[in-house]
Structure 1
Amino acid sequence: MDKPSRVIKPSMLGRRTLLRGIATGTGIIALGGATHVLADDDASRRASSLKRPDGRPRLPPSQFLLQRLRPMGGSEGDPSAKNFKLRVYGEVEAPFEIDFAELLEMPQVEQTCDVHCVTKWTVLDSHWTGVRVADLAARAKMKRTARHVIFEGANGYTSNVLVREALAPTSLVAHRYEGAPLARPHGAPVRALVPDLYFWKSAKWLSGIRFSAVDQPGYWEVRGYNNHADPWREERYG
């Protein structure tokens, strides 16, 4: 369940078939050469019975629980905070670029939320620290013509999100996970976090946030994945 956030003052197409047919239950599963611990049956049943504030179940249909976040690969970017630059531009009046130190000077949010991967795993109560996308949009003076947000990652990766979902209070530019700096496999030094959509929308190794008047499907969307990616509607593929 997403909890209120606290503001602190200043070759992968195989994913389509990966994990199909895996049942929930206690055990160890191998994913991408690493082992990941499944949550036990009781935890899965409890999650299935719990509701979010919007009335939807915490565990979306066909998902199973993992105890910790699983790195999902991708074409890695530069993990160095000293080399980090984030460009915020597009349908805005005041485009800007900030480095990692400037990002840390903005209001920081600590947030607990659930994340859901299209490959059917879910992690409940994950902890993140970052800056709200909405705060970056406000600084850039987003125009009323903006309808979509394009998250830009390393090596040309993009993911497209409706502007209302990108500006939700839970959508962050995240730099810490579980109380520690973001690890390299999770997109260090900074990634997007849009927890109410399948996790591929939360672009890793984030380098740009582009506001657009028109939709521009991203890397996975043009390869057959759903353009919206709502886990509760099982919007996996187009």
Structure 2
Amino acid sequence: MEKPSRVMAPTMLDRRTFLRAVAAGTGVCALGGATYVLADDGATRQAATLKRPDGRPRLPPSQFLLQRLRPMGGSEGDPSAKSFKLRVYGEVESPFEIDFTELLKMPQVEQTCDVHCVTKWTVLDSHWTGVRVADLAERAKVKKSARHVIFEAAHGYTSNVLLREALAPNVLVAHRYEGAPLARPHGAPVRALVPDLYFWKSAKWLTGIRFSAVDQPGYWEVRGYNNHADPWREERYG
């Protein structure tokens, strides 16, 4: 979930309509001119029995399945790869700025993972390509004083993540989804991907990664959303 857009963000009525359709077992639901395909009940029941390597269920409590990501709105940034710049700075010894071409020259990771939105949808086995935040941190030489990572995005949007979680091997600066460049509604050209937290932490239209000694709650966190956002603990609201 991203900072609301004047045009793209779904209204609360839209969300209620969407959730009622889910409860009724609707296979396809249209919101704002877009169509979202729900997984069938059998797939949802099966997913509820699957386990992650850490023993937690793949489908967190109260979630339902979608087949693909649902665009969640937000104030769009510049989608052009040519104009993309990512600033990596803060509590680091070697701050730097990288463009899209340089990002592609770094070690690339192809990853399959599940993502979970605070609005209760989950997509299993989503496919991403990108660069590990841990590799960017290594290049920047993060100081021992750093405890948090602040993802910075277009129009001042931020999301905060604990350093140890941001450096997990499945946390990426992602530029491809399902084998194709990110679509504009999903944050083109680059977004954060933090799959083990609710998806609003995965900031779209990424512009910066700031390492911080102190926590700095982001856009949704200061508006009442949970500061940590663990889907398995249903940490939706503060």
TM-score computed with the length of structure 1 as normaliser: 0.92
Amino acid at match of 2:42: D
Q: How does 1:35-54 map to 2 (within 5 A)?
A: 35-54=35-54
| Aligned-partner Cα distance in 1 for 2:24–2:224 | 27
Q: Which residue is 1:171 aligned to? A: 171
Q: Which residue is 1:7 aligned to? A: none
Q: Secondary structure at the match of 1:126?
A: strand
Q: Which residue is 1:55 aligned to? A: 55
Q: Which residue is 2:28 aligned to? A: 28
Could you list the per-position Cα deviations for residues 101-160 of structure 1 after superposition, in whole angstroms to 9, with x for gaps in the alignment? 000000000000000000000000000000000000000000111100000000000000
| Aligned-partner Cα distance in 2 for 1:109–1:66 | 24
Match of 1:18 among 10, 15, 19: 15
| Aligned-partner Cα distance in 2 for 1:147–1:15 | 35
Amino acid at match of 2:49: S
| Contact residue 149 and residue 160 of structure 1 kept, 8 A | yes
Q: Which residue is 2:129 aligned to? A: 129
Task: Give, in angstroms, the shift of residue 26 of structure 1.
Answer: 5.1
Q: Which residue is 1:237 aligned to? A: 237
Task: Give, in angstroms, the shift of residue 29 of structure 1.
Answer: 1.6
Amino acid at match of 1:174: A
| Aligned-partner Cα distance in 2 for 1:114–1:52 | 10
Q: Which residue is 2:214 aligned to? A: 214
Amino acid at match of 1:136: L
| Aligned-partner Cα distance in 2 for 1:206–1:160 | 13
Task: Give, in angstroms, the shift of residue 192 of structure 1.
Answer: 0.1
TM-score computed with the length of structure 2 as normaliser: 0.92
| Aligned-partner Cα distance in 1 for 2:26–2:51 | 23
- The alignment covers a number of residue pairs equal to 228
| Aligned-partner Cα distance in 1 for 2:67–2:13 | 22
Q: Structure 1 residues 156, 120: closer, same or farther in 2, change over 3 A?
A: same
Q: Which residue is 1:74 aligned to? A: 74
Aligned residues with identical type, % of pairs: 85
| Aligned-partner Cα distance in 2 for 1:231–1:129 | 23
| Aligned-partner Cα distance in 2 for 1:164–1:32 | 38
Q: Which residue is 1:146 aligned to? A: 146
Segment of structure 1 superposing worse, 213-222 or 19-28: 19-28
4+ aligned runs moved over 4 Å, structure 1: 11-17
Task: Give, in angstroms, the shift of residue 34 of structure 1.
Answer: 1.2
Amino acid at match of 1:236: R
Task: Give, in angstroms, the shift of residue 35 of structure 1.
Answer: 1.2
Asked if 1:94 is matched to 2:94, the reply is yes
Q: Which residue is 1:3 aligned to? A: none
Q: Which residue is 1:116 aligned to? A: 116
Amino acid at match of 1:179: G
| Aligned-partner Cα distance in 1 for 2:35–2:14 | 18
| Aligned-partner Cα distance in 1 for 2:202–2:33 | 23
